Amino acid sequence: MRREPGEGGYSLVELMVAVAITAATSAAVFNLFFQNRNLFEDQSLIVEMRQTARAVASMMAGEIRMAGQGIPVHAGSTDAAAWVEAVQVFLDGTDESTIVFRAGVRNGRAVFGSAPPPALALNRPATLTVADAGAVSSIVGRNSGRFVFLWGETAAGWTWVRAHVDAIDGRADTLTITPRQMAPVGGRFRARPDIQAEEALGYRLRSGSVQRAESRDFTSPEAPRWVWSALGDHFTELAFVYRDASGNAVSGDSVEARARIRRVDFRIRARTARRLIATGEFGTFDLAMTVYPRNVQLY
């Protein structure tokens, strides 16, 4: 349609050109917006993955570092044989994919009364006087599978005793125990020994989750009762390598081998919760750490 000079408005062609330009500009703006949104979502997934991996690795390293805490490792190291399972730090089941070890989770110790305990004998109940039975109860608990370690000096050297907790009397401040294992030098302490509950921790990978476990029931010392729970999700690998004091790799398939562990290397691989929009693939993050447990040898 021809527009006469002086007439207002726009021609149809002009309107169509304007609409086309507006549509193209809007499309470019929206495309940029969606690209930025996708980039932001991808980056959020990557950051979340890396934070989770670092948090899991840090917790694992910290707890592996305290392996043997509260266990009579030093007393047991003086025994003639390395097969003393009762005072081994790393437990049966420790292998390339799983680590289980004794450690004092609550880091509490009971305090004896003014005198050393009487001479202790295997499978013979004994009642010990403690300074505060309530404190002992908070450390040991009342589970039927709870055990305690006692260790200290005798006239013949260091000794240790692993005993079942039979009863705790808060009014009389007494602890009744039955020794189940002890060092060859016997159970007569020259002074008040240290005493701490037997506890253990573990880590493994199952169905994409790094799982952590605690055990306080040692009715069977070779097979404690574990309670596993997810610590972090979206993991594809958790691998352990164990080394002796010389840096040589050792396995966890025997007491003798586990007794030589002085260093733990582990590697984890995490992946994003979903595929990245930009690549259509899962993002991954590898993290490796070396840990020296502080309580596994005499210095």
Between CA 282 and CA 172 the distance in angstroms is 62
For 160, phi and psi rounded to 5 degrees?
Answer: -145, 155
Between CA 32 and CA 113 the distance in angstroms is 75
Residues 208, 170, single domain; the answer is: no
Of the spans 158-167, 180-189, 199-208, which averages the highest pLDDT? 199-208
Question: What is the per-residue pLDDT for 299?
Answer: 43
Question: What is the per-residue pLDDT for 76?
Answer: 67
Residue 227 lies in a domain: yes
Express each pLDDT in 125-153 by its tens digit.
998 887 766 666 766 666 567 888 888 88
pLDDT at 9 over 80: no
Residues 183, 235, single domain; the answer is: no
pLDDT at 1 over 60: no
The amino acid at residue 205 is L
Express each pLDDT in 96-128 by its tens digit.
999 999 987 765 555 666 677 888 999 999 988
Residue 258 lies in a domain: yes
Residues 181, 141, single domain; the answer is: yes
Residues 150, 285, single domain; the answer is: no
Number of domains in the chain: 2
Residues 150, 215, single domain; the answer is: no
Between CA 107 and CA 150 the distance in angstroms is 15
- Cβ atoms within 10 Å of 43's Cβ, excluding its own: 13
- Global confidence as pTM: 0.81
Reported residue count of the chain is 299
Question: What is the per-residue pLDDT for 223?
Answer: 80
Among residues 179, 197, 215, the one where a domain terminates is 197
Express each pLDDT in 228-246 by its tens digit.
999 999 999 999 999 999 9
Residues 150, 189, single domain; the answer is: yes
**Residue range of the domain that includes 69:** 49-94+202-291
Place of tokens 């110790």: 109
